[in-house]
Amino acid sequence: MKNEILGIHHITAIASDAKKNYNFYTGILGLRLIKKTVNFDDPHTYHFYYGDEKGSPGSILTFFPWEGIQAGRRGTKQVTEIGYSVPAGSLEFWQERFDQHNIIYNKPSVKFGERYLTFLDPDGLKFEMTEAKKTDTRPQWQTSEVDKLNAVHGFHHITITTNKMEDTAAVLTQIFGFKMTESEVNRFRFVTDAVEYAAIVDLVEAPGEAIGHVAGGSVHHVAFRVEDEESLMYFREKIVDFGLNITEKIDRNYFYSLYFREPGGVLFELATDNPGFTVDETLEELGTNLKLPVQYESIREEIEGILPNLN
């Protein structure tokens, strides 16, 4: 596992309404809120983390809900779709559920031999649920409405849209150890065999497509997973040697990170498995308390007064 990129760690996106976002992801999609904290650079904004029971890397979707932020636009230099893996035969359940809750979706379709369903979250963020060919054995978080016959397992893939894919492809293959395995029309699939799941990045090459605008309903960045800080620093050196700018190591309380913009224009992060989400709450308690980084504990009351109520 050492010095390998272990697929996707987490994906961070932007929402325009904290309460709507919370209701959609915990209620309709049936994910677990595993951490409720604030944006470390903007403590008057929430930072929500949704995932499986433990917040396993490869299942973690996070949001900055900036109240009332304008809508972004999908385009190049962005992660334009987030793919979840769901059990075989569950797409009918999801269509019915989306009908009941007025969620926008398309009829199931097939790519790379797998059936998938496209849908949008309340801010227009685009998702796919894929019935993966290979049975996904990752344990699911279940709710009273979404049981294990239908619940998501974690990420299946992400899609990046680009005018010309070669620069992004070079980072994936030469630094991250992914290989291009197949293509369909203008979609090129890159996969790592370092992990079984959350191991796919699709590059969609769209020469005429305009640059996207990152705002409400857009992905802010994607984080790739490394085992620990030693591995993190190994990749830092590799990225510097490749000629790219990268930040210093940052302590995000639940993982350590580095950020760099890949030459295709998407913000990439590398994030460690350690220490994980149980560092400041028990497994049972995850997501139930507002957790603040130590520098903001002294203004907790002020922060709690400003953050929107979720109930």
Residue ranges binding Zn ion (CB under 5 A): 12, 223, 269
Phi/psi-derived region of residue 59, left when phi > 0, alpha when psi is between -120 and 50, beta in every other case = alpha
Nearer to Zn ion, 10 or 153 (CB): 10
**Min. distance of Cβ 223 from Zn ion in angstroms?**
4
**Min. distance of Cβ 305 from Zn ion in angstroms?**
27
In three-state form (DSSP H/G/I as H, E/B as E, the rest C), the secondary structure along 263-302 is: CCCCEEEEEEEEECHHHCCCCCCCCCCECCCHHHHHHHHH
Rounded CA-CA distance 142/88 in Å is 16
> DSSP readout, 220-242?
EEEEEEESSHHHHHHHHHHHHHT
267-275 and 109-111 as β-strands: parallel, antiparallel, unpaired?
unpaired
Task: Please name the amino acid found at residue 26.
Answer: T
Rounded CA-CA distance 193/7 in Å is 9
**Min. distance of Cβ 271 from Zn ion in angstroms?**
6
Nearer to Zn ion, 119 or 268 (CB): 268
Contact indicator for 235, 258 with CB cutoff of 8 Å: yes
Nearer to Zn ion, 85 or 272 (CB): 272
**Min. distance of Cβ 245 from Zn ion in angstroms?**
17
**Min. distance of Cβ 186 from Zn ion in angstroms?**
28
Contacts of 287 (CB under 8 A, 6+ apart): 32, 33, 34, 35, 36, 49, 281
Nearer to Zn ion, 81 or 269 (CB): 269
**Token pair recorded at residue 49:** 């983390």
Nearer to Zn ion, 12 or 140 (CB): 12
Nearer to Zn ion, 9 or 97 (CB): 9
Bridge partner list, 226: 272
42-51 and 60-65 as β-strands: parallel, antiparallel, unpaired?
antiparallel
Rounded CA-CA distance 270/272 in Å is 7
Nearest to 55 by CA among 73, 81, 34: 34
Nearer to Zn ion, 91 or 201 (CB): 201
**Min. distance of Cβ 27 from Zn ion in angstroms?**
24
Nearer to Zn ion, 188 or 254 (CB): 254
**Min. distance of Cβ 259 from Zn ion in angstroms?**
8
**Min. distance of Cβ 81 from Zn ion in angstroms?**
18
